[in-house]
């Protein structure tokens, strides 16, 4: 499917197991470069550590995972848990940030949530994505701390949007 006016020339498609390596590269590079606006090097290390291609196999099998492509290159992806309405991931290749690609992915996740009859879509957003979600009509709750299995912590913010 082709994305709406949000991002010119961007195609959104479902991910397959063949995308695992690309998704991993996108997520790690987005955290390492775009995360710098709000997090320290230590926090970025904590957030990006241990992310490997195998991390995406279960979501691809069980959730809605969409990939944004421009000129056949994967430039972003998003993961929606269709049982809970939770956005588990949304990442854009740093060189392609602020070109509407995140919006095109989010619009597709929202369409999928509506198709599933979900009343609400929500996310534990990074602090650097808060303005992105607000601009898409989400409401933010109080900031809090997310603790990784390693015990390391980073700040995050719950965001949610009601679906009509
Ligand atoms: C958050 C993210 C997915 C946004 O993707 P994107 O393709 O750059 O977003 P868009 O171009 O669609 O942005 C749409 C609007 O959101 C807002 N926005 C996006 N990024 C922003 C930023 N860094 N600062 C302020 N506002 C921002 C702007 O209003 C923007 O519209 P504009 O560019 O016309 O001003 C991307 O920055 C990213 O991968 N960030 C790092 C990873 C992350 O934190 N992901 C979320 C995990 S929950």
Structural domains in the chain?
5-118 (3.40.630.30)
User: In angstroms, what CA-CA distances link 151 with 67, 154, 156?
Assistant: 31, 10, 15
Low-confidence ranges of the chain (pLDDT < 50): none
Q: How far apart are alpha carbons 99 and 81 in whole angstroms?
A: 25
CB of 7 within 8 A of CB of 104? Answer: yes
Which residues approach ligand 1 with their CB closer than 6 A?
A: 30-31, 34-35, 90-92, 97-103, 123, 125-126, 128-129, 131-132, 135
pTM listed for this prediction: 0.96
Sign of CA dihedral 7, 84, 23, 62: negative
Ligand 1 centre distance from Cα of residue 76 (Å): 11
Helix (H) or strand (E) holding 149: none
Write down the pLDDT at residue 4.
54
DSSP conformation class of 9: T
- pLDDT for 8: 83
Closest Cα to atom 7 of ligand 1: 102
- In 3D space, the residue among 21, 29, 163 whose CA is nearest the CA of residue 91 turns out to be 29
Coil, strand or helix at 72? coil
- Say what angle helices 20-34 and 41-48 make with each other, to 10 degrees: 170
Percent above pLDDT 90 for the chain? 93
């Amino acid at each position: 499917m082709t994305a709406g006016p949000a991002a010119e020339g961007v195609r959104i498609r479902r991910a397959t197991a063949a995308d695992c390596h690309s998704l991993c590269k996108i997520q790690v590079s987005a955290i390492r470069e775009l995360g710098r606006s709000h997090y320290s090097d230590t926090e970025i290390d904590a957030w990006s550590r241990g992310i490997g291609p195998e991390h995406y196999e279960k979501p691809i099998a069980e959730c809605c995972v969409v990939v944004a492509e421009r000129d056949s290159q994967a430039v972003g992806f998003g993961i929606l848990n269709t049982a809970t309405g939770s956005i588990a991931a949304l990442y854009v290749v740093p060189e392609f940030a602020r070109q509407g690609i995140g919006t095109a992915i989010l619009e597709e996740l929202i369409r999928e949530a509506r198709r599933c009859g979900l009343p609400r879509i929500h996310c534990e957003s990074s602090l650097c994505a808060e303005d992105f979600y607000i601009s898409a009509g989400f409401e933010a709750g109080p900031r809090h701390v997310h603790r990784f299995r390693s015990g390391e912590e980073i700040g995050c913010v719950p965001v949610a949007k009601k679906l009509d």
